[in-house]
């Protein structure tokens, strides 16, 4: 496809966002036709589709959404031309006041004095908007538009303001693309980690602790197995592990800069008339560990890791299963180094990320997040560190995109966005280059010249929030974890009570060999036992009947339905050991 033709396809992000933005106007027009009393707020395109916030005197139901979809299809068939025009501020305010749109009036009044106040008109409908838009509603395929959900939303994101209703939608140039998307969404619902977490007995969420997950026994096996792997990999790369206090005084957080830049997300208390904060991240504790003893250039790079429990205040409306919580374990690590070591350390860290993500079958894309408005340090330092990150990953042959202004307040960062089995992306890993906190904490090392020098450091996580990562891989694997990670690796099933004793001996042998096994000796038909073990997504089922007892064999089934036939227990142990040691994904 030529570059010119590609401009008008969904491969082009600008065209895709323009298409979805126009869909949001068609949505608003449809609502106003059906219910003129509804007040409009804002309606942008988003990463997947579009939405419009509205103030309605009733709650939108699925039936309402169907009505709106029908009206949207009519508007698309009418092929209404979209026309842009501008008005002076006073005329613009009067125009929207006459239409009875108070939210639009507020938006106009908040625009800068020199802003161009533009509108887009399509048929009888006109909306305040900067654009851009398609030239006609006929460009939108009405049968490939779907309104998906309606949620509550605060006006301008302020919980003290009006509560609006946000209607989400998605649209594609072709009906079969919409069908494929909706099918993917249905599959995602089946994989929802909240649903699977309950069904598989991994974790629970309670009203008594909103945003504070409870891990159940099988969930703890999963979590600890994941952390055992984390420790194994980090030992290989030369990390040492520490643990720092969950609560430290205000003076420390002021010194680190978190009190000024992050205090709204921190939980605080008073101890002995002194302000304390529960840590929202592990960095300051890591600084103090480094500063606790003198260091030489020979010690560097010094790699220090911590599985630290952190707390961050999130609005209740933002909480979502394990994906957005108020309390989580973060696999923070800090690497202290000389300036000459920066590129090598960054590349070494990326190789560690590659090793870990490949085990789970997760590919990734990289974003370089640059200096935010709220930052510490000079522009020159930021630009130098941004170039170091760019050069390090470019030299590895890796691509990246720029995410302007989204760096940490102390330094630029590389964010790793993981793609799961459904093609969804999750930001998990990050590498943050920092020359500011070593300065604030007056960290030093003795150089080869015998003089004192300031180290630089990276803050990095590979899994990120352990809880969130568990949510991601639960959905990625649809709860069917690889054998090495599965909370229960083997279920021993008896066909008859006569096999009970044999089943106990097989389970004991599995346990002695270091595998996680359960036994089902219930007086139920074997078909039911197999179905239930399959629903529990246990990798292997060992079916034991009279013939197995006589021959001292086991009949092996995989959760996929594959019958591996009869084998000796030693043969199965060898098979399972190979699969677990290689961390095979199946």
Rounded to whole angstroms, how far apart are CA atoms 125 and 71?
13
Q: Is 75 helix (H, G, I), strand (E, B) or coil?
A: helix
Pair of tokens at residue 452: 């004192």
Give me the chain's average pLDDT, please: 94
Q: For the segment 459-470, what is each residue's pLDDT rounded down to a tens digit? A: 999 999 999 999
Q: Taking residues 544-556, report their average pLDDT.
A: 94
Q: For the segment 335-390, what is each residue's pLDDT rounded down to a tens digit? A: 999 999 999 999 999 999 999 999 999 999 999 999 998 888 899 999 999 999 99
pLDDT of residue 584: 93
The backbone region for 478, taken as left when phi is positive above 0, alpha when psi lies in -120 to 50, beta otherwise, is left
Q: Which residues carry out catalysis?
A: 283, 312, 330, 332, 334, 413, 459
Q: Taking residues 552-575, report their average pLDDT.
A: 96
Which among 495, 361, 380 is positioned nearest to 418, based on CA atoms? 361
Which CATH number among 1.10.3720.10, 3.30.980.10, 3.50.50.60, 3.40.50.300 corresponds to the domain 3-184? 3.30.980.10
Q: Answer whether 169's CB lies under 8 Å from 146's CB.
A: yes
Q: For the segment 146-204, what is each residue's pLDDT rounded down to a tens digit? A: 999 999 999 998 888 999 999 999 999 999 999 999 998 899 889 999 999 999 999 99
- pLDDT band of residue 3 (cuts 50, 70, 90) is very low
Q: Is the dihedral of CA 122, 126, 129, 130 positive or negative?
A: positive
- Say which DSSP state 411 is in: B
Q: Answer whether 240's CB lies under 8 Å from 303's CB.
A: yes
Continuous H helices in 60-132: 62-77, 89-98, 102-110
**What is the distance of C-alpha 366 from the center of its chain?**
14
Rounded to whole angstroms, how far apart are CA atoms 531 and 355?
35
- Rounded-to-10 torsion of CA 167, 168, 169, 170: 170
Domain residue spans of the chain: 3-184, 197-475, 490-581
pLDDT of residue 6: 64
Rounded to whole angstroms, how far apart are CA atoms 562 and 577?
19
Q: Answer whether 398's CB lies under 8 Å from 365's CB.
A: no
Cβ neighbourhood burial of 450 (10 Å; 0-12, 13-18, 19+): exposed
pLDDT of residue 275: 93
pLDDT of residue 476: 94
Distance from the first to the final alpha carbon of the chain: 37
pLDDT > 70: what percent of the chain?
99
What are the angstrom distances between the C-alpha of 130 and each of 42, 117, 119, 178, 252?
Answer: 11, 8, 7, 27, 45
Q: What are phi and psi of 451, to 5 degrees?
A: -90, 165
CATH class held by domain 490-581: alpha beta
What own/partner pairs with CB < 8 Å and gap ≥ 24 does 417-420 have?
417/364, 417/365, 417/366, 417/367, 418/357, 418/362, 418/363, 418/364, 418/472, 419/362, 419/363, 419/364, 419/365, 420/362, 420/472, 420/475, 420/476
Q: Is the pLDDT of residue 30 over 90?
A: yes
- In sequence order, the β-bridge partners of residue 127 are 120
Q: Answer whether 490's CB lies under 8 Å from 516's CB.
A: yes
pLDDT of residue 5: 52
Pair of tokens at residue 332: 């923070």
Which among 282, 311, 315, 331 is positioned nearest to 212, based on CA atoms? 311
Rounded to whole angstroms, how far apart are CA atoms 167 and 152?
9
Q: Answer whether 577's CB lies under 8 Å from 528's CB.
A: no
Q: For the segment 98-149, what is each residue's pLDDT rounded down to a tens digit? A: 999 999 999 999 999 888 999 999 999 999 999 999 999 999 999 999 999 9
| Structure-token match 């966002």, residue found | 17
pLDDT of residue 339: 94
- Residues recorded for the chain: 586
pLDDT of residue 195: 95
pLDDT of residue 1: 37
- pLDDT band of residue 264 (cuts 50, 70, 90) is confident
Q: Is the pLDDT of residue 533 over 80?
A: yes
Please list the helix, strand and coil fractions of the chain in percent, rounded to the nearest 5, in that order: 40, 25, 35
What string of H, E and C letters represents the secondary structure of 530-580? HHHHHHCCCCEEEEECHHHHHHCCEEEEECCCCEEEEECHHHHHHHHHHHH
Q: Is the pLDDT of residue 529 over 90?
A: yes
Q: Taking residues 28-40, report their average pLDDT.
A: 97
Q: Taking residues 549-571, report their average pLDDT.
A: 95
- pLDDT band of residue 2 (cuts 50, 70, 90) is very low
- Say which DSSP state 433 is in: E
| Structure-token match 């654009």, residue found | 131
User: How many other C-beta atoms are found inside a 10 Å radius of the C-beta of residue 585?
Assistant: 17
Q: Answer whether 319's CB lies under 8 Å from 211's CB.
A: yes
Q: For the segment 203-254, what is each residue's pLDDT rounded down to a tens digit? A: 999 999 999 999 999 999 999 999 999 999 999 999 999 999 999 999 999 9
- Say which DSSP state 124 is in: T
- What dotted CATH number matches 197-475? 3.30.930.10
The sheet carrying 125-128 orders its strands as 82-86, 118-122, 125-128
């Amino acid at each position: 496809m030529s570059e010119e033709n590609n401009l008008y396809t969904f491969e082009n992000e600008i065209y895709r966002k323009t298409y979805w933005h126009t869909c949001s106007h068609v949505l608003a027009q449809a609502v106003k036709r059906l219910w003129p009393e509804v007040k409009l707020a804002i309606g942008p395109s988003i990463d997947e589709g579009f939405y419009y916030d509205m103030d309605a005197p009733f709650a939108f139901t699925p039936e309402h959404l169907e009505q709106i979809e029908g009206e949207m299809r009519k508007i698309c068939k009418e092929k209404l031309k979209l026309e842009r025009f501008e008005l002076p501020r006073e005329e613009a305010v009067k125009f929207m006041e006459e239409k009875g749109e108070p939210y639009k009036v507020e938006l106009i009044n908040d625009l800068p004095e020199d802003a161009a106040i533009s509108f887009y008109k399509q048929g009888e409908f006109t909306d305040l908007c900067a654009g851009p838009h398609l030239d006609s509603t006929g460009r939108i395929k009405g049968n490939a538009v779907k309104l998906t959900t309606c949620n509550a939303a605060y006006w301008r994101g302020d919980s003290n303001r009006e509560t609006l209703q946000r209607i989400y939608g998605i649209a594609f140039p072709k009906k079969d693309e919409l069908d494929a998307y909706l099918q993917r969404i249905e599959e995602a619902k089946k994989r929802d980690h909240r649903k699977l977490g309950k069904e598989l007995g991994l974790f629970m969420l309670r009203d008594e602790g909103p945003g504070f997950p409870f891990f159940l026994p099988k969930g703890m096996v999963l979590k600890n197995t994941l952390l055992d792997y984390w420790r194994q990999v980090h030992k290989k790369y030369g990390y040492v592990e520490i643990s720092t206090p969950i609560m430290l005084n205000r003076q420390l957080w002021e010194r680190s800069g978190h009190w000024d830049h992050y205090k709204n997300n921190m939980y605080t208390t008073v101890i002995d008339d002194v302000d304390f904060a529960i840590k929202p991240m592990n960095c300051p504790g890591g600084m103090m560990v480094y500063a606790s003893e003198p260091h030489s250039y020979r010690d560097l790079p010094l790699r220090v890791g911590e599985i630290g429990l952190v707390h961050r205040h999130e609005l209740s409306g933002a909480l979502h299963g394990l994906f957005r919580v108020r309390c989580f374990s973060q696999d923070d690590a800090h690497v202290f180094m000389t300036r000459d070591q920066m590129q090598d350390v960054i590349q070494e860290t990326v190789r560690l990320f590659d090793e870990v993500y490949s085990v789970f079958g997760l590919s990734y894309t990289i974003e370089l997040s640059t200096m935010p408005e709220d930052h510490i340090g000079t522009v020159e330092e930021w630009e130098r560190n941004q170039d170091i990150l760019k050069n390090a990953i470019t030299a590895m042959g890796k691509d990246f995109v720029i995410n302007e202004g989204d760096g940490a307040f102390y330094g630029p960062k590389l964010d790793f966005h993981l793609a799961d089995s459904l093609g969804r992306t999750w930001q998990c890993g990050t590498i943050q280059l920092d020359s500011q906190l070593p300065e604030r904490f007056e960290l030093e090392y003795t150089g080869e010249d015998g003089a004192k020098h300031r180290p630089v450091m990276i803050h990095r996580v590979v899994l990120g929030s352990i809880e969130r990562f568990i949510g991601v891989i639960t959905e990625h694997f649809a709860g069917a974890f690889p054998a090495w990670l599965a909370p229960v690796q083997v279920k021993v099933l008896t066909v008859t009570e006569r096999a009970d004793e044999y089943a106990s001996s097989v389970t004991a042998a599995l346990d002695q060999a270091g595998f996680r096994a359960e036994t089902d000796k219930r007086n139920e038909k074997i078909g039911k036992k197999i179905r239930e073990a399959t629903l529990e997504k246990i990798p292997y089922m060992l079916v034991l009947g009279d013939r197995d007892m006589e021959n001292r064999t086991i009949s092996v089934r995989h959760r996929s339905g594959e019958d591996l036939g009869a084998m000796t227990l030693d043969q199965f142990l060898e098979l399972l050991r190979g699969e677990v040691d290689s961390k095979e994904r199946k």
